[in-house]
Amino acid sequence: MKKGDHIYVDRGSCKQHGIYVGEDLVVYWTDQDSKSGQLCRVSLAEFTQGANSKVRKYACRCIDREKTIKKAETRLKEKSLNINLLIARTSLFIVGLV
């Protein structure tokens, strides 16, 4: 796994997606802590919860890895995100970062 990778975990009924930002940290969208959801940074272990994480492969990256990390960190710092929750729960939110 490399910094800037789009990673995901299969939770059975859905897949949870995130960006690996290095130092065993992942930025991902969660709806567990608020009604509308939020971006958070957690350890890789917390993100996977014991499941195997996989790296989503792209034929061509639109954004280099360092910019992907910067965008994820910038969005993490934003106070409010106008993101449709349905889209946020899918890989579409993460795909916009790679």
One-letter amino acid for residue 14 of the chain: C
H helices within 1-98, ranges in order? Answer: 44-48, 65-77, 85-88, 91-95
pLDDT on residue 22: 96
For 7-34, the pLDDT digits (tens) are 999 988 888 899 999 999 999 987 665 5
Whether the pTM exceeds 0.75: the reply is yes
CATH of domain 6-93: 3.90.1720.10
Is the pLDDT score of 86 beyond 50? no
For 42-75, the pLDDT digits (tens) are 999 999 999 999 999 988 888 899 999 998 888 8
Domain map (residue ranges) of the chain: 6-93
Is the pLDDT score of 96 beyond 70? no
Residues 6 or more apart from 11 whose CB is under 8 A from it? 51
